[in-house]
Amino acid sequence: MTEKNTDSIFGCFVSVTQPYPDASQEVKDIASEQGHLFRTYIWGEQGICNRLKKLKHTHYGKDLELILFQFYVNPLLVELQNMKEIENYRKKEKAIGIPIIINGENFFSKPEEGRFDFLKEAILQKLDLLTVVVKRKKLDTQVEQLKNDLLENRFSEV
């Protein structure tokens, strides 16, 4: 599921990996529960996507209209092996995908405040990687201003 406001610079996508078919019912139930729980952190009442989508792409330049945070919940090893830290810039779409891994160690084992802290830190770290891409591709996107606005206006509530 993706969410994209036409003028928002941020969008969110969540992929929940299903266990192997021969996994126990308990493992399948846990995966389903974790997927449902994680989605509330993205699209729920206090979800981060609601906060992120208030930032408009027109305020940060013309070359990048969508930064899509791609959250992968409990990805399989084969998925991890093929995943990049940040995807290539898609010039036609004026978009870039940024994968973020969600698992028991970095998210589900933490209390609620720790989960929001993890999401905040993961997003900020990925924006640091985006800065490198923007410079390398000579895009006009003001990533530092975007990070500052994000810290001042959106993450202060978390």
Q: What is the pLDDT of residue 123?
A: 96
pLDDT value of position 54:
86
Domain annotation covers residue 44: yes
What is the domain count for the chain?
1
Question: What pLDDT does residue 4 have?
Answer: 42
**Buried residues in 65-99 as b, exposed as e (16+ CB within 10 A):** bbbbbbbbbbbeeeeeeeeeebeebeeeebbbbbb
* Contact between 83 and 99 (Cβ < 8 Å): yes
State which residues form the domain around 70: 10-153
pLDDT tens per residue across span 10-37 = 999 999 998 888 989 999 999 999 999 9
**What pLDDT is attached to residue 5?**
42
158 found inside a domain: no
Residue 129, domain member (yes or no):
yes
- Residue ranges of the chain whose pLDDT lies below 70: 1-6, 153-158
Residue 55 lies in a domain: yes
The reported pLDDT for the residue numbered 1 is 42
On whether residue 128 sits in a domain, the answer given is yes
Q: Is residue 5 part of a domain?
A: no
